Amino acid sequence: MKKAVIYTTPTCGFCRRTKEYLKEKGVDYAEFDVSVDSQKAQEMVDLSGQMGVPVLVVGDGEEKDIIIGFDQPKIDAALGL
């Protein structure tokens, strides 16, 4: 299974839905709350080019997919589901 990282905020409904979906699919992920971690917030902007959450990063190195928002077809494709 590919490595997954999700950038979130506590009040984001789509963040909660994305995390629930990953759990349903048995995907382990690291979560960063960008509302309290300015370094991770900047990392998210550098990766995605925007401030909106959730931002999901699947994979690492050159082989990573960056998914903005809860986009189930893109999540499934990135995870090979």
State pLDDT tens for residues 20-47.
Answer: 999 999 999 999 999 999 999 999 999 9
Residue ranges and CATH numbers for the domains of the chain are: 4-79 (3.40.30.10)
- Say what the pTM is: 0.93
Mean pLDDT of 50-70: 92
> DSSP for 9-52?
-TT-HHHHHHHHHHHHTT--EEEEETTT-HHHHHHHHHHHSS--
Question: pLDDT category, 63, cuts 50, 70, 90?
Answer: confident
Question: pLDDT category, 15, cuts 50, 70, 90?
Answer: very high
pLDDT of 61 strictly over 80: no
Q: Are 15 and 8 in contact (CB under 8 A)?
A: yes
